[in-house]
Amino acid sequence: MENNLLRPEQPLGIFDSGIGGLTVAHAVTRLLPSESIIYFGDTAHLPYGDKSTAAIQAYSIKICDLLLQQGAKVILIACNSASVSAYDLVREYVGSRAKVLNVIDPVVHYIGENYANRTVGLIGTRRTVSSGVYRQKIKALRRNITLKSLATPLLVPMIEEGFVHNRLSQYILDMYLTHKQLESVEALILGCTHYPLIRPEVEAYYGDRLEVIDSSEMVARALYQLLEEHHLLNQSGEGTKRFLVSDFTRTFQSQTRLFFGEKVELETYPLWE
């Protein structure tokens, strides 16, 4: 019988290289308020976007071990760079102990359903863009979709440091969004879980000219469908929330409200000691 070891009351495990994945966690808690979550931000090693594949895989497996020990029924990789580098390995490693979801496949599915024979843009970390994973997955759809990608490495540290909705963030965004690589796109994928925080500025830049695609809500809906399909939806009571980081700083603590929309208390969990 499927899922005889997994139960609806088990928590959801969510991880990211830092606190950017809290945008996904927030979308999940809004859509699935009865689900308990355990979030892990690997703040000791961020950003993943500039790390080697081997390093990201090693970090991801360590984090999965922690989340499995905490009884997670699903492991959601709330990080584009880790989804690129470690998703297949994580899925193999976890096996039947939990379901595994990444933040890329739900977006690719949406693009395939809505942008056949059109041109789509992508902004993300160097790791996400250089991997070509979005391009490969979109090409595999065979929907004649052209993808134009641009690495935007300044955006994550800018957002982590709280430089949003001001003159500096506007200058950096303008520099990227006016790049010739993004000319003629009909939609723009925000290919990093930090980027929902600057979605209003991106939308203001483009106006009604294109759709800005935010993965956090799509991933939350995909998670709902996964839980429903495998009879793992927890539909009673209000879920609990734990937020762990591998390295605590007051800067991260102060910025968590930006990402999660409410106050978050971080617990330090030095996984590599």
Note whether 51 and 74 are same-domain residues.
yes
Q: Which pLDDT score, from 0 to 100, does residue 273 have?
A: 55
Does residue 7 sit within a domain? no
Closest by alpha carbon to 107, among 187, 13, 226, 209?
187
Q: Are 105 and 132 in contact (CB under 8 A)?
A: no
- pLDDT above 70 for 122: yes
Residue 3 counted as domain residue? no
Q: Are residues 17 and 71 in the same domain?
A: yes
List the binding residues.
Answer: 16-17, 48-49, 80-81, 193-194
Q: Is the pLDDT of residue 107 over 90?
A: yes
Work out the average pLDDT over 136-158: 95
- What per-residue confidence (pLDDT) applies to 28? 97
pLDDT at residue number 34: 97
Binding-site residues for substrate: 16-17, 48-49, 80-81, 193-194
pLDDT digits (tens, 9 = 90+) for 157-208: 888 777 888 888 999 999 999 999 999 999 999 999 989 989 999 999 999 9
Residue 210 shares a structural domain with residue 114: yes
Domain closes at, from 192, 215, 238: 215
Band (pLDDT 50/70/90 cuts) for residue 89 is: very high
pLDDT above 70 as % of the chain: 98
**Catalytic residue IDs:** 79, 192
Supply 240's token pair.
């609990």
Percent of the chain with pLDDT over 90: 75
Whole-number Å distance between alpha carbons of 142 and 252: 42
- Give domain status of residue 5, yes or no: no
Instruction: Please tell me whether residues 201 and 118 are part of one structural domain.
Output: yes
* Together in a domain, 129 and 229: no
Secondary element (H or E) of residue 134 = helix 133-140
Same domain, 148 and 193: yes
pLDDT band at 4 (very low <50, low <70, confident <90, very high): low
Q: Which domain holds residue 203?
A: 105-215
Under 8 Å between Cβ of 42 and 81 = no
Is 1 inside any structural domain? no
Q: Tell how strand 146-151 and strand 99-102 pair up.
A: unpaired
Look at 137 and 235; give whichever has higher pLDDT. Answer: 137
How confident is the model at residue 174, as a pLDDT?
Answer: 95
**DSSP 8-state symbol, 161:** T
Do residues 123 and 253 both lie within one domain? no
Compute the distance between CA of residue 121 and CA of residue 190 in angstroms, rounded to an integer.
9
Of 258, 244, 219, 268, nearest to 31 by C-alpha is: 219
pLDDT band at 1 (very low <50, low <70, confident <90, very high): very low
Q: Is residue 42 domain-shared with residue 83, that is, in the same domain? A: yes
Are 172 and 211 found together in one domain? Answer: yes
Count the domains in the chain: 2
Specify if 92 maps to a domain. yes
> Helix or strand or coil: residue 176?
helix
162 or 113, higher pLDDT: 113
Q: Does 2 fall in a domain?
A: no
Task: Please indicate, yes or no, if residue 154 is contained in any of the structural domains.
Answer: yes
pLDDT at 18: 85
Does residue 208 form part of some domain? yes
Same domain assignment for residues 110 and 210: yes
Mean pLDDT of the chain: 92
Are 211 and 155 part of one and the same domain?
yes
- pLDDT tens readout for residues 247-270: 988 877 888 888 898 888 899 998
pLDDT by residue (tens digit) across 29-87?
A: 999 999 999 999 999 998 887 889 999 999 999 999 999 999 999 999 999 989 999 99
Same domain, 60 and 144: no
